[in-house]
A and B are shown apart, each in its own frame.
Chain A
Amino acid sequence: MIELNVLGQSESNEASGCASGSCGSTGDQLSHLPEEIRKKVFNHPCYSEEAHHHFARMHVAVAPACNIQCHYCNRKYDCSNESRPGVVSEVLDPDQAVKKVMAVAAEIPQMTVLGIAGPGDPLANPERTFSTFRQLSEKAPDIKLCVSSNGLALPEHVEELCKHNIDHVTLTINCVDPEVGARIYPWVFWNNRRVKGRKGAKILIEQQQKGLEMLVERGVLVKVNSVLIPGVNDEHLKEVSKIVKDKGAFLHNVMPLIAEAEHGTFYGIMGQRGPTNEELVDLQDACAGDMNMMRHCRQCRADAVGLLGEDRGDEFTMDKIEMMDIDYDAAMVKRRAIHEAIEAELEVKHNKPNEALVTLSAIRKKETRPVLMAIATSGGGVINQHFGHATEFLIYEASATDVRFVSHRKVELYCSGGDTCGDAETTLEKIIRTLSGCEVVLCAKIGYEPWGMLEEAGIQPNGEHAMEFIEEAVAAVYLDMANNGQLEDKPVAAQQLTA
């Protein structure tokens, strides 16, 4: 019998069963990090898979200028109904941005992180970016500040960044080879010239690598984002992953290319496709041998507000904020209480063994195959969403050894109420297609009609674990399947395991 490796069940921690940051989930992979780094990231939704269930983030769009062009970006960034990086509804000046952050911090106390990510490049707008950071580090010291950059102007701004107590930087690095870069970046603006093609890409790559080294030297946590572009940099990203890890980046986030003709981007117009779910997960797995991989990124807008996967930006437009009366001192007290409550809840969860996994290790006699399960959740790390209200499903893989978060899949809202119900059937069919490869859907509740259709498609709906922690419920269902002898053969619908 193969030993079941429940995370946290090491020699030093035998009794507790599961003490890792995210029980049984290797998606988070924070458990092996030094305590000092864990402290920096445990409540950062973009850096910790577990945190993203509980803590919220916001971006303020103070940085419209950019110093490079990427083939996946259209610089006509004004858009209200798309969710992808580089898109915003209104650009703010630093004073407006500070006001907005204070308003959101008071209204959404779970918001722990403020990032500047565009819609251009924050470091191509140094005055606007740093003015925002300067004011916030004074007025809202309980908010973590972070910045996301293409790296071209990074080396010259590293000193200034360090002054503002920014201990998280995200760098987008899509390549380390100028030949590859020339197919991603048509030009960069460098030393008062527009430099095109391979030459421009080479400058960008050199600046990125230099900036990465400088940040790591100063103890700043660096996450590297890479956009997976099939046929352009897919194989190459394995090398990128190795290099950035060697240089000290602590997390690598490989994101799928978003390319639609209606976005007006080079890739969209030229018909460059994005990766399939399977290609993305395969590449993430291939890179994972080398470093921490992030799999919960939602590729949010440069003005997103709320938990990852949700956007409450509409509640905080400048005209609405002008009407709000914010007492930040009172808000800080409330924020602290709420943060402490979440931390206490997580502490309890960490110290509780995942019973199902422990039991499974004891009874399991035969090899059991892994199973993908789709989860409907609106946050909190628990199964708490109605199937029909889900706009995305989290995909977990249960196996004999652990439960791990694999990816998320966006779906169209199935039930929006009222007279839209006529369309429900086709939407439902689409959702079921999106969930292909999964054998179970865990949700708080589910209607009669989708239940039947899911079953017919070989996906078992399950509402019995409502309000339970995701990892525990997934493990429990897997245990049931093992006990019923469902895991010794191929999946019933003979579907491929894709995620």
Chain B
Amino acid sequence: MALNIIETCVNCWACEPLCPSQAIYEAKPHFMIDNKKCTECEGDYADTQCASICPIEGAILNGFGEAINPPGSLTGIPPHKMMEAMAEIQAR
């Protein structure tokens, strides 16, 4: 199984040096994970390293395609609050 970085990645470089398998590489439009190299950090760390430093909720998916850091889990902003605020801003 391998992790996957998706388009919400902001290219902040935080994950790249942490990967014990050098599976993460710079690419356009965003960083990518080489699924042949990714081990999900098994044998190296208890937690997947890229997903433990990534600041963007939803940007890294596990082998099942699920967000490792779901909405609200990193910023502490309840998802409904975020949606309300976005709707309010768009209505201006």
Please give the residue numbers on chain A whose beta carbons come within 8 Å of chain B beta carbons, in ascending order: 64-67, 69, 71, 75-78, 91, 120, 124-125, 127-128, 186-187, 189, 192-194, 261-262, 264-266, 268-270
Overall SS of chain B's interface: loop
Q: Indicate which residue in B11, B17, B77 contacts A269 across the interface (CB closer than 8 Å).
A: B77
Residue in B14, B49, B85, B89 whose CB lies within 8 Å of A67: B14
30 A-B pairs, CB-CB below 8 angstroms? A64-B11, A64-B12, A64-B14, A65-B12, A65-B53, A69-B75, A75-B56, A78-B10, A91-B11, A120-B12, A120-B14, A125-B13, A186-B74, A186-B75, A189-B52, A192-B18, A192-B45, A192-B47, A193-B47, A193-B52, A194-B47, A261-B85, A261-B88, A261-B89, A265-B75, A266-B77, A268-B85, A269-B81, A269-B85, A270-B77
How many residue pairs at the A-B interface have CB separations less than 8 Å? 70
**Chain B residues engaging chain A, CB cutoff 8 angstroms:** 10-14, 17-18, 45-47, 49, 52-53, 55-56, 74-77, 81-82, 85, 88-89
A77 and B52 alpha carbons, distance in the complex (Å): 19
Query: By the criterion CB–CB under 8 Å, are B77 and A189 in contact?
Result: no
Docked Cα-Cα span, A270 to B85, in Å, equals: 9
Q: Looking across the interface, which residue of chain B has its beta carbon closest to that of A194? A: B52
A64→B10 CA distance, assembly (Å) = 9
Please judge, given known A-B contacts A193-B46, A261-B88, whether A69 and B13 are in contact too, CB under 8 Å: no
Instruction: Please tell me if the beta carbons of A124 and B47 are within 8 angstroms of each other in the complex.
Output: no
CA of A218 to CA of B44, assembled, Å: 36
Q: Is the CB of A71 within 8 A of B55?
A: no
Residues from chain A with a CB closer than 8 A to the CB of B47 are 192-194
Which residues in A have their C-beta under 8 angstroms from that of B85?
261, 268-269
Name which residue of chain B comes closest to A65, CB basis. B14
Q: Are B81 and A65 in contact (CB under 8 A)?
A: no
Task: Report if A192-B12 is in contact (Cβ < 8 Å); known contacts: A75-B55, A186-B74, A270-B81.
Answer: no
Q: A192 touching B49 by the CB < 8 A rule?
A: yes
> What CA separation (Å) do A128 and B49 show in the bound complex?
20
Q: A120 to chain B: which residues have CB within 8 Å? A: 12, 14
Closest chain-A Cβ to B77's Cβ sits at a distance in Å of 5
Report which residue of B14, B17, B45 has the largest number of chain A beta carbons within 10 angstroms of its beta carbon.
B14
**Chain A residues positioned under 8 Å from B74 (CB to CB):** 69, 186-187
Q: Which residues of B contact A270 (CB under 8 A)?
A: 77, 81
For the complex formed, measure the closest distance between the CB of A11 and the CB atoms of chain B, giving whole angstroms.
56
Q: Which residues of B contact A261 (CB under 8 A)?
A: 85, 88-89
Check A189 against B53 for contact (C-beta < 8 Å): yes
A71 in contact with B14 (CB, 8 Å): no
